[in-house]
Structure 1
Amino acid sequence: MILLEIVYYAFIAVVFIQVIFYTFFFGRFSFSKIEKKPSKKVPVSIIICAKNEAKNLKSFLPSILHQDYPNFEVVLINDASYDDTPEIMEQFAKQHDNIKIVDVKNVEAFWGNKKYALTLGIKASTHDYLLFTDADCKPVSNSWISEMTSHFNNEISIVLGYGSYQKIKKSFLNKLIRFETLVTAIQYFSFAKIGLPYMGVGRNLAYTKEAFYKANGYVNHMKVRSGDDDLFINQIATKKNTALSFSEESFTSSIPKTTFKSWFIQKRRHVSTAKHYKFIHKFLLSLIYSCNFLFWLLATILFVTTFNWQIVLGIFLFKTILQIIVYNYSAKKLHEKDLVYLLPVLEVFLVIIQLTIFINNLISKPNHWK
């Protein structure tokens, strides 16, 4: 009985912490309004690093080249590809004079290091404003460049965007992938809203060349094979120099993984970089996950034992309803509302998968950019 009382009060404490997060952290983004900024029309260099992406370049590069924007170049980085990527890049370059190709050869000291390839691409770029995306991404509108760059000013040198994944009907894995992406976006947008920006996604991210050089590029974490987006932003982003772009016209859309194994490997790489974040970010993110895990674990124990089950049920429903409300507003902004209906189920799966990834990463190192 004493043990169950401890579990009961621990459950109350966990829910209390979660309510604070949903109300004062995630609510800042969920209930915020989209601020439309006038287009600056600054010259922009779009950076795309591709490794064996011939098929995706053929499909998605036209959506970038046809952007409604007066002055931009596309820097295509061929990172030691062994498929038809170089030939596809050359074909596009013959048709468009605003394409610049950077051919990266494998160097022993930087073998398979995407940050090395990106650094060469950034150095070769012409303009001071850099906009990053991936070869398997496409902007959802022809105003993507305008929307992302409209946030730059004398103080703002970083713009965090949203990179969505395409919807696949009748696929639970697709919903799980998109839910994890939504949760991650809610977190990094919300943290930025309260003045603690900690990451961005390379599928849709912008910053100035001056900010890149001022931070000595990726030097501080060059040996960490992943993190060209989140670790770099974690290093340089502040309350004053970071802006958010979450209007629908600023989104990009990517091809999601179609097998659980490939997605699991991808997430292992992403999670492995988190240990290099600043302490405050690691602490808060660990607290969020720990509370999510404990919420479901402790609630299960209390429901199975029927200990104060009426009160436990009331607390459980209160927290769940609050979470659904907050997530619903965010999902509406990011056009992911279909995920809210499965929120409890998706969260349970995600908590279990994240725990599995954490254990796997302790046992062995994940594979990175090859």
Structure 2
Amino acid sequence: METYLLDALLLFFQICFISQLYYLVNYHSKLAGYKPLEALPQVNIPISVIISARNEYDNLKYNLPLILEQQYPDFEVVVVNDCSVDESDLLLLELQNTYKHLRVVTITEHARFKTGKKFALTLGIKAAKNEHLLFTDADCTSSSDNWITRMAANFTTGAQIVLGYSPYNKTGGLINTFTRFETVKTAISYLSAALRGDAYMGIGRNLAYTKTLFFSNKGFAAHMHVLPGDDDLFVNQNATADNTIIEINPETFMYTTSKTTFGGWYRQKKRHMGVGKLYKNKHRRMLSWDAMSGFLFYIALALCLVFKVEPVLVLSLYVLGILTKILIYNKILKTLRAKDLLMYLPILDLIYYVYLNVFGLIGTFIKTTQWK
């Protein structure tokens, strides 16, 4: 290879390295220095917990009582039974006899009108009697009975949006390990952005906002034509530096179980493809360059080693980057209860950036046709 091409390759590698280092130090370090409140706050804001469920009998049977039995003085749980055919209606009726603060909204299948999660959530929000809303999914298990208390306490600061964290249970295996890592990386990105005053997304498995904010901004109307995005697109369009706060005390985590097969995992990811292109331009640019520079960094690294372009310098920068990530992520992963992933960081980081770019391309061409 010509000398000028080798020099260009080395320069390109350094640009990608600097870009990745910038994201680490300027963005992710914000979360590393954040300390969640340890003391249990005293709060009594009326809360409506909203869950949209379609054919979730088993999950509702296990998880719903854990939410209904939260240690909080004033709350209701609104479950939207969205066209279920698995006897969820009978289970919910039975639970209503025991828990008087459980309310059920039922949607029946229409031959000509197919509903999605946004429609179901909108009905749940309309049915909620309280101003402050807390959202999760039927397949999520609360990590403690103080979930509502700690999430609700953030509204006392004047916040209108509270971003929580929802990790996957550790079950072992490559798919589970990577799913957990991808979830952690996503959380590091959106939580750090919120701390910088530039929140761009949230996760519907653990998210809170006010009814006033929802209706004053016409709910999901701006993106109702897209099936996914009830969480991240809503936050992207309505979050500001002043109205958004994060909550990552481990007592607020909402755990769920990852898919066990590649096919199941792919179908899950497919439902979320293409949503990012509807983000604000500044967020698309930020996320795109992070994904591209991370992927191209590894491509340039491999090429530099193959063609023996300053191998000592190249490997030194690679090691410096990994050590910086370990230093910054060490505290974050401890807080997020995922410290075991640190030892796999080098290989998981590589897979992560390949995954981002491959699925980003797929998401450009594939249209999601169902939410469940």
* 3-state SS of paired residue (1:350): helix
Assess, with a 3 A threshold, how the Cα gap between structure 1 residues 309 and 251 changes in structure 2: closer, same or farther.
same
Gaps of 5+ in 1: none
Partner of 1:87: 90
Give the CA deviation at 1:154: 6.0
* 3-state SS of paired residue (1:151): helix
Residue 79 of structure 1 aligns with an amino acid whose one-letter code is: D
Give the CA deviation at 1:75: 0.2
Partner of 1:167: 170
Q: Distance in 2 between matches of 1:355 and 1:291?
A: 10
Give the CA deviation at 1:344: 1.4
TM-score, normalization: structure 1?
0.96
CA contact (8 A) 1:177 1:256 kept: yes
Q: Distance in 1 between matches of 2:123 and 2:204?
A: 16
CA contact (8 A) 1:265 1:366 kept: no
Aligned mate of 2:99, from 76, 96, 109: 96
What is the root-mean-square deviation of aligned Cα atoms in Å? 1.4
Q: Distance in 2 between matches of 1:139 and 1:187?
A: 23
Q: Distance in 1 between matches of 2:10 and 2:252?
A: 45
2:197 maps to 1:189? no
* Partner deviation per Cα, 1:119-161 (whole Å, 9 max, x = no partner): 0011001111100000000110010000101111363111000
Give the CA deviation at 1:258: 1.0
2:361 maps to 1:359? yes
2:76 maps to 1:73? yes
Aligned runs of 1:2-21 on 2, under 5 Å?
2-21=4-23
CA contact (8 A) 2:274 2:366 kept: no
Partner of 2:334: 332
Q: Distance in 2 between matches of 1:362 and 1:46?
A: 34
Q: Distance in 1 between matches of 2:370 and 2:345?
A: 30
Aligned runs of 1:291-370 on 2, under 5 Å?
291-370=293-372
Q: Distance in 1 between matches of 2:354 and 2:139?
A: 28
Partner of 1:59: 62
Query: 350-359 or 333-342, which moves further after superposition?
Result: 350-359
Q: Distance in 2 between matches of 1:367 and 1:296?
A: 34
CA contact (8 A) 1:22 1:326 kept: yes
Give the CA deviation at 1:13: 1.0
Give the CA deviation at 1:108: 6.6
* 3-state SS of paired residue (1:68): coil
* 3-state SS of paired residue (2:45): coil
CA contact (8 A) 2:48 2:77 kept: yes
CA contact (8 A) 1:110 1:116 kept: no
Partner of 1:131: 134
Query: Which aligned segments of 4 or more residues in structure 1 are displaced greater than 4 angstroms?
Result: 107-110
Give the CA deviation at 1:273: 0.7
Gaps of 5+ in 2: none
Partner of 1:272: 274
Query: 40-49 or 100-109, which moves further after superposition?
Result: 100-109
* 3-state SS of paired residue (2:229): coil
2:155 maps to 1:152? yes
Give the CA deviation at 1:367: 3.9
* 3-state SS of paired residue (1:358): helix
Give the CA deviation at 1:107: 4.8
Give the CA deviation at 1:14: 1.1
Aligned mate of 1:247, from 243, 246, 249: 249
Query: 196-205 or 320-329, which moves further after superposition?
Result: 320-329
TM-score, normalization: structure 2?
0.96
Number of matched pairs: 369
Query: Percent identity between the aligned chains?
Result: 38
CA contact (8 A) 1:129 1:207 kept: yes
Residue 71 of structure 1 aligns with an amino acid whose one-letter code is: D
